[in-house]
């Protein structure tokens, strides 16, 4: 087994659902230290490793937490199974492995790579929110699965709200709607409005609401209903625009925003994208551009950093969060080569 495959397997073997990332962070620190590189764990629990003299900073931002649901780690038919193999320890191990290759060969003359394994991406992106004011890179690469031969340019935004309505208990034979009925009417109004707005649009440009939870409670004196609603947003609708609309529809109910991040999309004509296109072609790929209907830590940091950006990483994102999550090891190997070459290309490009 190569050292790079061993790294991937070792971090996948660490079961790290959100809030329990420390074992992988510590393992990556040790891995970088053994290679003679700077590495530490920051105040949020993020892994941070560095290589290269600079002055141009390039942040490679992955994440080291996973969704819950432990999967037995095993290798079968050239595939590594385990929670996080695709989302997103495969991309994180790709970042680490390519960085160590470049450091070992002294290939970096103009860039400083800052490799970050963020915590809580599957939660509220607390790791990314911790770093957003601590760095100002010239280039940003997000570690998420998109396939070894693809470049991801953007992600939909998101708004998560908590709806809560409490009223004095009323007789069921009376004329007033019950609190669950009021809440359901609110949800149907949101869904119907989204259907109207979305007509004729591709998925990336649609507003996509999801009712994650609804609970009711009564104690004989008052009745309460609570809903957890998560809405995926296109580029043209920021979280504030939708929040104002929801508050206007809520009536006497309370709307609390858990988090809201705008949709983001990077440009194609940048030194960063060109560096990846050249690297992919060198590996025999026909590069593909993608946008994702989910979100990532790109949504958190990109509006503040305002720099060329993309997401890259091996793995099939259709396997994210599934019981059959696995990554093809040959794809992982290829992705390391692509990233190594892309970072070499970028280092040369910024010299001019």
Active site amino acids: 65, 121
Residue 138's alpha-carbon distances to 179, 263, 351, in angstroms, are 51, 20, 13
Beta strands in 24-91 (DSSP E): 38-41, 47-51, 56-63, 74-76, 79-81
Q: How far apart are CA 277 and CA 225, in angstroms?
A: 51
Q: Which residues contact 335 (CB under 8 A, 6 or more apart)?
A: 90, 91, 94, 148, 312, 313, 314
Residue environment code for 276-294, b if the CB has 16+ CB neighbours within 10 A, otherwise e: bbbbbeebebebeeebbee
Q: How far apart are CA 60 and CA 50, in angstroms?
A: 10
Contact 71, 325 (CB under 8 A): yes
Give me the sheet containing 222-233, strands edge to edge: 208-218, 222-233, 157-168, 254-261
Query: Over the Cα atoms of the chain, what is R_g?
Result: 22
Contact 80, 8 (CB under 8 A): yes
């Amino acid at each position: 087994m190569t050292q790079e495959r061993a790294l991937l397997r070792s971090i996948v073997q660490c079961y790290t659902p959100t809030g329990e990332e420390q074992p992988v962070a510590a393992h990556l620190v040790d891995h970088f230290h053994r290679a003679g590189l700077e590495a530490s764990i920051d105040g949020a629990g993020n892994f941070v490793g560095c290589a290269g003299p600079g002055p141009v900073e390039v942040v490679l931002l992955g994440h080291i937490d996973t969704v819950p649901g432990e999967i037995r780690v095993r290798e079968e038919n050239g595939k590594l199974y385990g929670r996080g193999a695709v989302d997103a320890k495969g991309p994180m191990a790709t970042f680490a492995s390519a960085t160590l290759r470049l450091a070992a060969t002294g290939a970096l003359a103009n860039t400083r790579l800052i490799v970050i394994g963020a915590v809580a991406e599957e939660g509220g992106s607390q790791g990314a929110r911790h770093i957003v004011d601590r760095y100002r890179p010239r280039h940003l690469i997000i570690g998420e699965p998109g396939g070894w031969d693809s470049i991801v340019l953007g992600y939909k935004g998101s708004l998560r709200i908590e709806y809560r309505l409490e009223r004095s208990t009323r007789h069921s034979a009376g004329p007033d709607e019950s609190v669950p009925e009021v809440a359901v009417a609110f949800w149907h109004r949101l869904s119907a409005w989204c259907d109207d707005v979305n007509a004729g649009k591709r998925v990336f440009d649609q507003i996509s609401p999801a009712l994650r939870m609804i609970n009711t409670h009564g104690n004989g004196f008052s009745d309460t209903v609570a809903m957890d609603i998560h809405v995926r947003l296109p580029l043209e609708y920021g979280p504030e625009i939708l929040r104002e609309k929801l508050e206007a529809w809520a009536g006497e109910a309370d709307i609390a925003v858990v988090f809201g991040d705008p949709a983001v999309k990077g440009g194609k004509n940048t030194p960063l994208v060109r560096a990846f296109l050249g690297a992919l072609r060198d590996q025999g790929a026909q590069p593909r551009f993608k946008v994702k209907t989910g979100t990532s830590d790109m949504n958190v940091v990109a509006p503040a950093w305002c720099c060329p950006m993309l997401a890259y990483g091996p793995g099939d994102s259709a396997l994210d969060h599934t019981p059959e999550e696995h990554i093809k090891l040959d794809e992982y190997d290829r992705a390391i080569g692509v990233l190594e070459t892309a970072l070499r290309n970028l280092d040369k490009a910024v010299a001019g």
